[in-house]
Amino acid sequence: MTRTTGRLVTANLALTLDGRYHGPGGPRDFAAFAPYVATDTARDQMTRMCADATTAVLGRVNAEGFLGYWPPVADDSSADPRDRAYARWLVGTEKVVLSTTLAEAPWDRARVVDAPATDVVAELRGTGEGDILVNSSASVIKALLAADLVDRLYLLLVPVVAGGGPRLFDDGLPTTSWTVAYQETGATGELAVVYDRAR
């Protein structure tokens, strides 16, 4: 994608073949994804998505979950180097946490904003440099897709039909066109794909 003025709004998410971002058991049902999220293909996609990003946008649930997992990985010599690099990026980068309930930011270099995702991202887009990465927060991504504010999608498609659970692409989204900027198929059938919004 040719960059013009402004920042790219990017988003990443893992999806099943039927478009679910968690299974029918609820928000903690990630059984469909477990065999695939630590593959070389998934880790390389993680490296790719944060390479140009200078701001992470997170919903409250992901912000709190990431806080419990990623900071210790940054200095874990036994962790995969790509995991350490991502953890260091996440800890060190600017983080905007969208929440109506948090009183203070859950980690350093983070601020809590109680405002619609579309307003927050539009404001971020007009200031600073580098990509804005909406980091695995489906509710935020859905709102931005509905407003046609996403410039790039980093998707990890896993070869599983979950059969239940919420989908990323709900009925009623505006019609949009996308081009494939990158794709890679992993040894266990997972597909890392980068889609750029065709405008």
For 14-18, 25-29, 131-135, 143-147, which range has the lowest pLDDT when averaged over its residues?
25-29
DSSP letter for 120, please: H
Residue 4 lies in a domain: no
Length of the chain: 199
For residue 5, is pLDDT > 80? no
More confident position, 2 or 160? 160
Residue 34 lies in a domain: yes
SS (H, E, C) 35-86: CCCCCHHHHHHHHHHHCCEEEEEEEHHHHHHHHHHHHHHCCCCCCCHHHHHH
CA–CA dist 177, 187 (Å, integer): 29
- Report the CATH number at residue 92: 3.40.430.10
Residues linked to residue 154 through DSSP beta bridges, in sequence order: 12, 194
How far does the chain reach from its first CA to its final CA, in angstroms?
A: 10
Per-residue model confidence (pLDDT) at position 6: 74
Looking up tokens 């996609």 gives: 45
pLDDT mean over 135-149: 96
CB–CB of 104/114 below 8 Å? no
pTM beyond 0.85, yes or no: yes
Total count of domains within the chain? 1
Average pLDDT, the chain: 93
Q: Which domain holds residue 23?
A: 9-197
Residue 3 lies in a domain: no
Residue 2 lies in a domain: no
Per-residue model confidence (pLDDT) at position 3: 39
Residue 126 lies in a domain: yes
Residue 124, token pair as written in the block: 């971020």
**pLDDT tens digits, one per residue of 87-119:** 999 999 999 999 999 888 878 889 999 999 999
CB–CB of 54/128 below 8 Å? yes
Residue 45 lies in a domain: yes
**pLDDT tens digits, one per residue of 48-76:** 999 999 999 999 988 888 888 999 999 99
Angle, helices 117-125/138-146, rounded to nearest 10 degrees: 70
